[in-house]
């Protein structure tokens, strides 16, 4: 038994893992880009880019149920050794890329908001090391910590959305079609990579109790994140409108800065920074863990912990590569486009191969 096959994780831990992975970008500039591109109809895009990965997850659960073994065995059985390597190396790249880019953006926003005089490298290293420690403690620690923190963090976020109500302008939600229905549909299909994290449930399937646990976790996590995203998007649009909403580098931070209920309840964003730092850390750690896990199973290594420092160094160095925040956001957008392979292409191939295999087996049995 390898140390990373836990097999004790339930629905709650799955929800926390996926939620942490997919919600982290809520605090980054993605919302501003989405509002600018789609206008008031961004919610439709959100529904699409949440539902598509959910369907993909169900396809992948079907695939893993068709073939016994971990994700490497499944891939090797369906697409051969070279195919399996290609697919899993691509996923490793996506998860490490995600971890590095999320790390860089959180580090940049930490520098812009909380610690403007801190050294850039120090902040990067701090995030990377903290994420590394979480990874080192293992997937159980990561998931259960996330689950314990989740209600408090969600409560904090919802409180901010409520407290900016003096600035709501409901008419900012009109014209209701925003920049057009087709634009929103296309954007929803393109941006499905935002929820790539849900596939972590399939990759770590051996750590979960059974397929039903994985499905439930995916439904609750993606459903919850969808509701949160839509509520956030509606409030953000009501407060800033489409024009100004598209200008902001840190949409959620800007919302928190607007809280002004009276002389005593204002300037609360400093408290809120702690919330998004925790979300960021969990997302960086989660993505890094999945990347490391895939390396471990691909190379058939006996333990994951020993390569955590390697992962920390890779992620920290990748994060420091982009020269500025503008370029980082561009690369991040590129990564979201690349992750379409991880949402559409690879699961599609594996699903078709699993279907073909099952039909062949059925026809053989009937003879």
The footprint of other proteins (CB under 8 A) covers 39-40, 112-113, 115-118, 126, 129, 133, 167, 169, 171-172, 174-180, 240-244, 247, 254, 257-258, 260, 262-263, 266-267
Least separation in angstroms between residue 321's CB and other proteins is: 25
Taken as a whole, the chain contains a residue count of: 367
- Residue closer to other proteins by CB (options 73, 114) is 114
Per the structure block, which two tokens stand in for 360? 């062949």
Q: What is the nearest approach in angstroms of other proteins to the Cβ of residue 106?
A: 15
Shorter beta-carbon distance to other proteins: residue 32 or 94? 32
CB of 330 to other proteins, least distance (A): 20
Residue 10 or residue 241: which is nearer to other proteins going by CB?
241
CA-CA distance, 106 to 103, in Å (whole number)? 5
Q: Which residue has the tokens 């598209």?
A: 246
- Please tell me the distance from the alpha carbon of residue 67 to that of residue 356, in angstroms, as a whole number: 12
User: Which pair of tokens denotes residue 299?
Assistant: 């190379």
Nearer to other proteins, 169 or 345 (CB): 169
Comparing CB distances to other proteins, the nearer of 79 and 130 is 130
Question: Rounded distance, CA 133 to CA 125, Å?
Answer: 12
Residue 1, CA atoms < 13 Å, CB-side half-sphere: 6
- Measured CA to CA, the distance from residue 298 to residue 288 in angstroms comes to 15
For the bound state, the minimum distance from the C-beta of residue 122 to other proteins, rounded and expressed in Å, comes to 9
Smallest distance from other proteins to CB 35, Å: 11
212: exposed, middle or buried (Cβ count in 10 Å: 0-12, 13-18, 19+): exposed
**Closest to other proteins by CB, 120 or 345:** 120
Q: Which residues contact 276 (CB under 8 A, 6 or more apart)?
A: 27, 106, 109, 252, 253
Report how far residue 346's alpha carbon sits from residue 134's, in angstroms, rounded to the nearest whole number: 29
Quote the CA–CA distance of 242 and 35 in Å, as a whole number. Answer: 6
Chain position carrying tokens 């998007």: 233
Comparing CB distances to other proteins, the nearer of 163 and 294 is 163
* Whether 145 contacts 215, CB under 8 Å: no
How near is the Cβ of 43 to other proteins at its closest, in Å?
A: 15
Q: Could you tell me the smallest distance in angstroms from the CB atom of residue 254 to other proteins?
A: 7
Least distance (Å) from other proteins to the CB of residue 117?
Answer: 5
List of residues 6+ apart from 140 with CB closer than 8 A: 6, 8, 9, 13
3-state secondary structure of 28: coil
Give 277 or 341: the residue with its C-beta nearer to other proteins: 277
């Amino acid at each position: 038994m390898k140390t990373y096959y836990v097999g004790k994780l339930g629905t709650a831990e799955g929800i926390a893992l996926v939620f942490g992975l997919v919600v982290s970008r809520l605090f980054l500039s993605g919302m501003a880009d989405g509002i600018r591109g789609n206008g008031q109809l961004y919610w439709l895009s959100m529904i699409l880019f949440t539902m598509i990965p959910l369907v993909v997850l169900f396809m992948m659960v079907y695939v893993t149920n068709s073939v016994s073994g971990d994700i490497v065995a499944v891939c090797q059985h369906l697409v051969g050794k070279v195919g399996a390597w290609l697919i899993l190396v691509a996923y490793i790249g996506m998860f490490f890329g995600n971890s590095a880019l999320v790390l860089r953006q959180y580090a940049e926003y930490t520098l812009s908001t909380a610690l403007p005089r801190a050294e850039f490298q120090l902040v990067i290293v701090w995030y990377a090391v903290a994420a590394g420690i979480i990874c080192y403690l293992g997937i159980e620690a990561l998931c259960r910590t996330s689950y314990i923190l989740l209600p408090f963090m969600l409560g904090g976020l919802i409180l901010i959305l409520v407290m900016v109500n003096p600035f709501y302008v409901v008419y900012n939600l009109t014209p209701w079609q925003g920049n057009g229905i087709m634009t929103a549909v296309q954007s929803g299909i393109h941006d499905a990579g935002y929820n790539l994290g849900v596939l972590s449930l399939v990759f770590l399937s051996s750590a979960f109790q059974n397929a039903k646990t994985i499905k439930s976790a995916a439904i609750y996590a993606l459903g919850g994140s969808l509701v949160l995203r839509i509520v956030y998007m509606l409030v953000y649009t009501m407060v800033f409108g489409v024009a100004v909403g598209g200008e902001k580098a840190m949409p959620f931070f800007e919302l928190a800065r607007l809280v002004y209920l009276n002389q005593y309840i204002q300037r609360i964003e400093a408290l809120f920074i702690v919330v998004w730092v925790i979300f960021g850390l969990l997302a960086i750690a989660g993505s890094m863990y999945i990347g490391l896990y895939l390396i471990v199973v691909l190379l058939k290594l006996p333990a994951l912990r020993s390569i955590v420092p390697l992962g920390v160094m890779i992620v920290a160095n990748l994060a420091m590569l982009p020269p500025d925040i503008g370029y980082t956001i561009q690369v991040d957008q590129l990564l979201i486009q690349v992750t379409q392979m991880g949402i559409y292409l690879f699961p599609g191939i594996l699903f078709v191969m699993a279907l073909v295999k099952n039909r062949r087996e059925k026809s053989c049995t009937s003879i």
